[in-house]
Structure 1
């Protein structure tokens, strides 16, 4: 007997638990996600035990999910979760009209352990890597010093902007419910790319990113410039938001970087809309949208070309990119891993949607490591930049630390 027979599926939570458990018990890699403003929950599984690494020319790839770290590898390749199995369900619809596929088979546990407990056990076991109780990158003093060093380098003319980051370690409780947490994030962040992925011996991550890096739908290409951060306040935060000159200039730098990338490839025909204030969780940002007709411009591989040019963006690294990246490598003192890298589904139903991996946490056994950065210019206040990272850490951290009902 298997779980799909022993436990009739009456809720989407049960379906999600089974999909997640199937992913872990397969011994392979898997990802589950929901795109912004979508009601479709998507899941794919790669049952091969060794993770595949691929070039960034994604137009040539089969359907799958791409995962790339912040720092380029020597060969500039990304991890790729190939879609051996794919399944989607419509959120908010009755489970009676949606049936899990036959390949979702989960064997009965001889000890008759509840499925949620078994899922948590698999999560901890599969993500068990050595993680220090606290690292230098967790400490406020380290981050404040890093911001001060960044301001000094900007004032010296080395760069215009830099985006230092930090970590924050929080314990995962014994009754942590991965499926329930994921569903709560879906509800809380309708405008974000809510995701969870696991690659054996590489990493286990959960997040809700507000930022598209590149997207292609048929002949249409899309990207965005997202920068500037403030807490959402009041009854109508989108209308009451007031932006400082520092935040406006920070966002303008990101826009300029995208336009400079277009110029490098001699692309002049593009639409630019913004900036406008948008909400992501409990934070507000400034966003400008860019669109290109790839057929009209004769540029069918614009997606992978821009992916290579844009990453890492000035919103997660700084400007100029070379100097800001060198500053971070010399002073940040920790491995960002997949934080501020890029992730997302590739070539699924004629669409590719790749996001900057922000508002995210890596899971390492009984510990979650949160990541956050802040854009630093010559007008930055180190204390306020620390407060900004605390707000960003809360976006995922408050769900992981939330006690189960």
Structure 2
């Protein structure tokens, strides 16, 4: 589809090339299929991202990376300053009645302990500015095109419009042929659980630690990440859904957990810790929910997370509000204990807040420093983006970051799945292993193998 002649002329007349970058945005009068768009944009594989919020109010994808801020260390302040500098060099124009929706997307790996070979395609700190971006928000849809001023070409908008407007062909998602499915160091992981439980019963220095484990699945053909995203969407989970690509690596997370949201000077976050399996029998589920709400181990674990978050945000917030008792968060396969927390912010640097909050005890442990030390020295493998903060910052320094649990790293024909659970002094290695098995389910279903 071509741009309307009068709109094209208006764009050309208003474009100002006195800054290094130009970003133009138009509103679309329809709701395109973003998974279809990703499937069609094969020339940009390795330079794409996708993000859907838990409440479905925001869905977006980025095609092509105009700029990448990539560091070999955790550089929260440097990433934030990089974005502020880019904004000063950016001429933004909107040809509709709403705000400009450009976003700086990315995240930080779990810790700096090691950057092993499987994560080499991603930086320890890694954010991208998309060349093309489609944003579906609150029932409206926008196309954003951003480029260097000397390369900016209105015709590029028409090219992406042709792809956006092409109809997705009816296709049958075929079952992938799996050739291997193996837990990585499962017996060693159980032994590590037993070890840390013994340490906790000998000393109060470490009161909770989250231990992650992995499962490797190999297929006859390359993993189709668009099919994986579509299966995740079709599951109707009350979860965020995210894809982040770099080089030959593709990271996917379908997580219920938000780290934080910053909006107009307010911080919104939550504590999710304490888990029990959900069944298909609603009367039994009611019993399970009561059991979770009254279980001392889960309540103990949840209270740690709440207290830690409140401690971490007190220095840069005021007017702190939170529920004194947890409620139940319902997902397709699990129930979680949930506490909503909000406060007024004293800082506008969303990445400073991300740094303070990560990792919560739900992904690290308590006390935080001791738990992270144990994880870095004792856990098998590198977490990479598992359990890490991923999300975006917008032009007004608002943003949202998720905690990327229920996740996998895809490389060609191989998918490495990640899950973890909180270990406290009365944990049992077999029970915790079974809990992590449950937490593999979203990615197994996304891959089409269950």
Structure of greater relative contact order (alpha carbons < 8 Å, 6+ residues apart): 1
Q: Give RMSD over aligned pairs.
A: 3.5
Partner of 1:151: 197
Q: Deviations over 1:190-210 (max 9, x none)?
A: 421111110115x31112111
Matches of 2:139 and 2:223 in 1, distance apart?
A: 24
Larger strand proportion, structure 1 or 2?
2
Partner of 2:35: 16
Structure-to-structure mapping, 1:253-332, within 5 angstroms: 253-263=304-314, 265=315, 267-273=317-323, 274-294=325-345, 299-301=346-348, 303-332=350-379
Q: Give 5+ residue unaligned stretches, structure 1.
A: 1-9, 95-99, 108-113, 121-132
Matches of 1:380 and 1:47 in 2, distance apart?
A: 45
- Structure with higher Rg: it is 2
**Number of residue pairs matched?**
361
Contact 1:151 1:377 in 2 (8 A): yes
Relative to structure 1, is the Cα distance of residues 106 and 149 closer, same or farther in structure 2, using a 3 angstrom cutoff? farther
Of 23, 26, 32 in structure 1, the residue corresponding to residue 50 of structure 2 is: 32
Contact 1:59 1:347 in 2 (8 A): no
1:300 Cα offset (Å):
3.2
Matches of 2:201 and 2:105 in 1, distance apart?
A: 41
With structure 2 as the length reference, what TM-score do the two structures score?
Answer: 0.71
My pick for the range that moved more, 55-64 or 327-336, is 55-64
Q: Deviations over 1:197-253 (max 9, x none)?
A: 10115x311121111111111222111111011111222636751122101100100
Is 1:356 the counterpart of 2:403? The answer is yes
Matches of 2:277 and 2:307 in 1, distance apart?
A: 25
Is 1:229 the counterpart of 2:275? The answer is yes
Of 55, 60, 66 in structure 2, the residue corresponding to residue 42 of structure 1 is: 60
Contact 2:278 2:288 in 1 (8 A): no
With structure 1 as the length reference, what TM-score do the two structures score?
Answer: 0.78
Relative to structure 1, is the Cα distance of residues 219 and 268 closer, same or farther in structure 2, using a 3 angstrom cutoff? closer
Of 113, 129, 151 in structure 2, the residue corresponding to residue 82 of structure 1 is: 129
Contact 1:281 1:395 in 2 (8 A): no
Q: Deviations over 1:96-137 (max 9, x none)?
A: xxxx95343899xxxxxx9989xx9xxxxxxxxxxxx888x7
Partner of 2:158: 102
My pick for the range that moved more, 44-53 or 229-238, is 44-53
Matches of 1:106 and 1:73 in 2, distance apart?
A: 45
Q: Give 5+ residue unaligned stretches, structure 2.
A: 1-29, 88-102, 115-122, 142-155, 164-168, 175-179
